[in-house]
Structure 1
Amino acid sequence: MSVFPIVLFGLAGVLLGGAWSLKRQGAPITASALLGVLAVMAAAAGVLRLSLGGE
């Protein structure tokens, strides 16, 4: 079992938390949207890595 998907899910959580924090602080929407997109990409990579079982 690889640790890489867990790292990707952790990264997605940190990025999503950062996006939420930026939104609450009134930062430009592009910054929080960019972090949100990166979070979704990291989560999708984790899911694909788990489902395809790439070793």
Structure 2
Amino acid sequence: MLAVVLCAVGGVLLGGAWSLRSQGAGRPAIVVVALLGVLALAGGVLWMLPHGTFS
């Protein structure tokens, strides 16, 4: 369940970064929101991997 929530939050944040970009927001704000979205999405994907994948 947490993986789905993280992927959803990541999608919302990446969409927000795209929206900020199209509205002409400052570059630091876009980068921060996009970075948080990528981290949330990566966390969701890693959470779905079976335990012991990297060991």
| TM-score of the superposed pair, with normalisation by structure 2 | 0.87
> 1:22 is matched with which residue: 15, 20, 23?
20
Cα-Cα RMSD: 1.0
5+ residue gaps, structure 1, are: none
User: After superposition, what is the alpha-carbon deviation per residue over 1:1-55, rounded to whole angstroms, capped at 9, x for unaligned?
Assistant: xx110000000010001100000000001101111100010011001110145xx
Question: May I ask how many residue pairs the two structures share in their alignment?
Answer: 51
Distance across 1 between alignment mates of 2:47 and 2:39: 12
Quick one: percent identity of the two aligned structures?
Answer: 45
5+ residue gaps, structure 2, are: none
Runs of 4+ in 1 over 4 A off after TM superposition: none
